[in-house]
């Protein structure tokens, strides 16, 4: 069964609903340029969420690793400052048009998993743009790490995406929102159900 990460959460009620609907992981954005930025201080209500649902701190370029926090994983694009292996790390690979799976086979070493997202010059993620599913499927086959598929996923396309790519997990943010950072609960519930039944 494909695992599901709900990302860009900014409200307690949305995070609780995601956990209740069956999400496996919850993402909280720490990138100041994102409309889903939760602030520099960790919201205290995150500590009250289901302890058996993973919490992920989501960064753009990672230039610092949080100290003792509620996070189970840290997710980001650039890990060159932290070359040592780390099991609590999700490396984001933003796929550029024209790139191949071979271009990314050596970028999965120092992470527990990799996340594939679409490249946009003006944002690190949450743009609603799809990745090339054919390239993503080949990366899944080549990767030595679990692959999380993100980028433009919605309730309308999630089952097709899973059937074509066969990722370990999927990640959604803008595809289930009423506004940036505000989740549509019906879309979120439907997305999780469809992803887990694909």
Active site annotation includes 50: no
Tally the C-alpha atoms within 13 A of residue 188's C-alpha that lie toward its C-beta. Answer: 27
Q: How far apart are CA 89 and CA 130, in angstroms?
A: 23
CB 110 within 8 A of CB 83: yes
Look-up of token digits 């970028």: 107
Question: What is the C-alpha separation between 120 and 166, in angstroms, rounded?
Answer: 24
Catalytic one among 14, 117, 132, 171? 117
* Torsion angle (degrees, nearest 10) of CA 177, 95, 164, 174: 0
117 is catalytic: yes
Residues labelled as active-site residues? 7, 117
């Amino acid at each position: 069964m494909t695992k599901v990460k709900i990302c860009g959460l900014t409200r307690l009620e949305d995070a609780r609903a995601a956990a209740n609907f069956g999400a496996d992981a919850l993402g909280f954005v720490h990138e100041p340029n994102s409309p889903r930025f939760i602030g520099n201080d960790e919201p205290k209500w995150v500590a009250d969420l289901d302890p058996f649902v993973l919490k992920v701190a989501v960064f753009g370029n990672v230039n610092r690793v949080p100290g003792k926090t509620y996070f189970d994983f840290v997710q980001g694009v650039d890990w060159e400052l932290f070359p040592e292996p780390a099991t609590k790390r999700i490396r984001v690979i933003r796929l550029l048009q024209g790139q191949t799976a071979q271009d990314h086979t050596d970028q999965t070493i120092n992470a527990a998993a990799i996340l594939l997202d679409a490249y946009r010059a003006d944002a690190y993620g949450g743009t609603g743009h799809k990745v090339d599913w054919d390239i993503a499927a080949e990366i899944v086959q080549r990767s030595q790490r679990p692959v999380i598929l993100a980028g433009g996923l919605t309730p309308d396309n999630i089952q097709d995406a899973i059937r074509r790519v066969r990722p370990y997990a999927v990640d959604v943010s803008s595809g289930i929102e009423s506004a940036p950072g505000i989740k549509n609960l019906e879309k979120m519930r439907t997305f999780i159900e469809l992803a887990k039944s694909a």
